[in-house]
Amino acid sequence: MTTMRQAFVRAVNDGIATDPRIAVVTAVISSNEFPQENERVVDVGIREQTMVGVASGLALAGLRPVVHSYAPFLVERPYEQIKLDIGHQDVGAVFVSIGASYDDPAWGRTHQSPGDVALFDTLPGWTVHVPGHPDEVTPLLQQALKDDDRVYVRLSLHENTHAHPVGEGFTTLRHGKRGVVLAVGPMLDRVLKAVESENADVTVLYAATVRPFDSDGLRKAVQDTDHADVMVVEPYLEGTSSHLVSETLQQIPHRVRSIGVKRHAELRNYGTAEDHDAAHDLDVVGLGSAVRSFFRG
């Protein structure tokens, strides 16, 4: 079984072999996955600010850098470098993280990054992919490597049973009249189980790409229901996409329920990702409860 990380490594190594524009910049993590003898593969040691700065310089010199690390070290630690060295210099790069919100919580809070997508949301011009299956990673990355823009790909150990088409906006997986549930990336299987367990008459949309936000797809799905009630289930900070849902539906009265990693407390528990899902009501039980209460009546 191929993991998302393995699919990423394979796609990037194919890119290095076939496209002279592709470069890779790492800060130790995963560096042994890439051909260090290649002059376009640069490991800077455990220096994440310089990792992003070097990637900026490579982009300014005409290369297409892939920048990779564990999510908090890729996004949070060098956030100002992402803002200025990539965005403000108006260059492109492909940022790929592993670790997600809490893929391995035994490592504690230092290795958790539920706020990564929210941070990218403070910066203009970023495409954000949150694949839910390894087979979705390859086409998303292949396209990202061809382009020149700014792309963030959020990989996770948690995935859905099946892959779905990517790159064409939200995918409708279930039709209903009571409202719409938008499931992002690895949340899909749990959302479908929760909806089915509650016998909820709702439309379920799937998103592996959240920025740009498929406003047209959401608006159409809402128009096909009897209630403008939208639940957004994201595997990162709750409410990250709420402003875009509100903007999409600004012309009609609507209700929004945002579900994701809770903001109110800093969990100091270790345990498993499943433990943390339960603590954030992101397991099937918690999601079922949310579906039941939000789509009541």
Partner 1 sequence: MTGDEKHEWAAASTIDVLWVLYDKVLNVTPAIVDDPDRDRFLLSKGHGPMAYYAVLAEKGFIDESTLDDWTSWDSPLGQHPDRVLVKGVEISSGSLGHGLPIAVGTAIGQRVAGSRGRTFVLVGDGELDEGSNHEAIAVASRLRVANLTAIVIDNQSAMYGWPGGIARRFAVEGWQTAEIDGRDHEAVFTALTAPHDRPYAVVAKIEKSR
Residues that bind partner 1 (CB under 8 A): 23, 25, 39-40, 42, 44-45, 47, 49-50, 52-63, 65, 80-81, 84-85, 88-90
For the bound state, the minimum distance from the C-beta of residue 30 to partner 1, rounded and expressed in Å, comes to: 18
The DSSP 8-state label assigned to residue 102 in this structure reads T
For the bound state, the minimum distance from the C-beta of residue 128 to partner 1, rounded and expressed in Å, comes to: 23
Of the candidates 240, 242, 248, the one whose C-alpha atom is nearest the C-alpha of residue 219 is 248
For the bound state, the minimum distance from the C-beta of residue 20 to partner 1, rounded and expressed in Å, comes to: 8
The DSSP 8-state label assigned to residue 161 in this structure reads S
Output 39 or 266, the one with its CB closest to partner 1: 39
Output 16 or 218, the one with its CB closest to partner 1: 16
Taking the C-alpha atoms of residue 142 and residue 83, their distance in angstroms, rounded to an integer, is 24
Of the candidates 278, 187, 149, the one whose C-alpha atom is nearest the C-alpha of residue 140 is 149
Residues 6+ apart with CB under 8 A from 77: 48, 49
Rg (CA), the chain: 19
Backbone angles phi, psi at 244, to 5 degrees: -75, -35
Residues 103 and 273: beta-carbon distance below 8 Å: yes
Output 77 or 193, the one with its CB closest to partner 1: 77
Output 86 or 256, the one with its CB closest to partner 1: 86
For the bound state, the minimum distance from the C-beta of residue 95 to partner 1, rounded and expressed in Å, comes to: 15
Residues 287 and 259: beta-carbon distance below 8 Å: yes
Residue type, 98: I
For the bound state, the minimum distance from the C-beta of residue 169 to partner 1, rounded and expressed in Å, comes to: 30
Preceding omega of 165 cis (within 30 degrees of 0)? no
Output 39 or 168, the one with its CB closest to partner 1: 39
Output 18 or 251, the one with its CB closest to partner 1: 18
The string of DSSP codes covering 246-260 is HHHTTTS--EEEEEE
Terminal-residue alpha carbon distance, the chain:
43
For the bound state, the minimum distance from the C-beta of residue 211 to partner 1, rounded and expressed in Å, comes to: 22
Output 23 or 181, the one with its CB closest to partner 1: 23
Residue 43: C-alpha distances to residues 17, 171, 273 (Å): 18, 38, 30
Output 90 or 226, the one with its CB closest to partner 1: 90
For the bound state, the minimum distance from the C-beta of residue 46 to partner 1, rounded and expressed in Å, comes to: 9
For the bound state, the minimum distance from the C-beta of residue 53 to partner 1, rounded and expressed in Å, comes to: 3
Of the candidates 126, 200, 146, the one whose C-alpha atom is nearest the C-alpha of residue 22 is 146
Taking the C-alpha atoms of residue 127 and residue 145, their distance in angstroms, rounded to an integer, is 13
